[in-house]
């Protein structure tokens, strides 16, 4: 599977998919925040097969749990 390699944005948060070979066995995909080593897992129900964020998805609950990662990645929390 070819996954999207470009930076995607949710609200104002830049996200980049971290390529892994075991994604077909996982229920979520891992994204790097703001090109740092901070990351967040986003469930597949919010993603297309290639790792693209589906339009009009509410990911706020994910980023509220990842408040510390957002701070370390120099992104303002929601």
The one-digit pLDDT tens for each residue of the chain (78 residues) are 799 999 999 999 999 999 999 999 999 999 999 999 999 999 999 999 999 999 999 999 999 999 999 999 999 877
Contacts of 2 (CB under 8 A, 6+ apart): 50
Q: Write down the pTM of the prediction.
A: 0.93
**Helices marked H in 19-66:** 60-65
CA-CA distance, 34 to 2, in Å (whole number)? 22
CA-CA distance, 66 to 8, in Å (whole number)? 17
Pairing of strands 28-33, 39-43: antiparallel
- Under DSSP, the state recorded for 16 is E
């Amino acid at each position: 599977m070819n996954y999207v390699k470009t930076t995607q944005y949710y609200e104002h948060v830049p996200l980049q998919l971290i390529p892994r070979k075991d994604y077909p066995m996982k229920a979520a995909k891992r994204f790097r925040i703001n090109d740092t080593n901070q990351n967040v897992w986003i469930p597949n129900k919010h993603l297309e097969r290639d790792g693209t964020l589906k339009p009009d998805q509410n990911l706020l609950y994910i980023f509220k749990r990842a408040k510390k990662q957002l701070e370390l990645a120099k992104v303002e929390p929601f």
